[in-house]
Amino acid sequence: MINLKKELPFIAIAFLPFLYLAYIWNNLPDKVPMHWNGAGEIDRYGDKKELVLMLVMLVGITYFVFLIIPKIDPKGKLQNMGNKLNTLRMALTVFMSGLAIFILYSAQQKNSNPQLLFVIIGLFFAFLGNYFKTIKPNYFIGIKTPWTLENEEVWKKTHLLGGKMWFIGGIFMALTFVLPNKIQVYTFLGITAIITIVPVIYSYLEFKKISVTK
């Protein structure tokens, strides 16, 4: 059963972008900016009704997915995280709602500041990295490779390394605001690739190491 009283703060934050869109709706033109390139220049316009779909996908789906997955986790490990899972859920809800409001504001103003966006994403990555070590083995959240899911020790070691990399990588992402726009984009993508690929390779090597010693 869903505890509505506990869910109210999550629901309230998830609804903020929808309320903001309703507030600015009449001031929006029929065609609004929907996408910006790395230099912050508009490269696609769309019907303002697309903004509703964007909010549903960005905020609504995120909320419902993280509401449901702890209840359908076969191992029940996510439920055992207790308040740590709720803190992570709240952080994700706040981040997605804030990102949605940022996009709506940029669409209204017909401009975007990609440097600020990368700072926000970088700090969020750092926050997530700090939580990696608390995530129990599961099929939904974390670094899910065949080797981490097969062995709990590999899961723990991989998330310890991944957490450190995401934290440090996120800080470096936030610091890229001092770089020119195009260099900032490539640096951001490079850091993202490193903190994603290295833990996957590490999980395989750790699994092979454990397999050999057994």
Structural domain spans, the chain:
7-112, 115-214
pLDDT exceeds 70 at position 23: yes
pLDDT at 1: 62
What is the CA angle 102-108-113, rounded to 5? 45
Average model confidence (pLDDT) for the chain?
86
pLDDT band at 162 (very low <50, low <70, confident <90, very high): very high
- Stretch 6-17: mean pLDDT: 92
Report yes or no: 166 and 132 within 8 Å, Cβ to Cβ. Answer: yes
pLDDT at 155: 96
What is the CA angle 131-59-62, rounded to 5? 50
What is the CA angle 56-62-66, rounded to 5? 145
Residue 148 CB partners (closer than 8 Å, separation 6+): 137, 142, 154, 155, 158, 159, 203
Query: Which tens digit of pLDDT belongs to each residue from 176-211?
Result: 888 887 788 889 999 999 999 999 999 999 999 987
Range from 59-63, 67-71, 109-113, 142-146 carrying the lowest mean pLDDT: 109-113
The residue ranking higher by pLDDT, 3 or 98, is 98
The residue ranking higher by pLDDT, 77 or 210, is 210
**Exposure string for 76-86, b = 16+ CB within 10 A, e = fewer:** ebbeebeeebe
Query: Which tens digit of pLDDT belongs to each residue from 92-141?
Result: 999 999 988 988 887 777 666 667 888 889 999 999 999 898 888 888 88
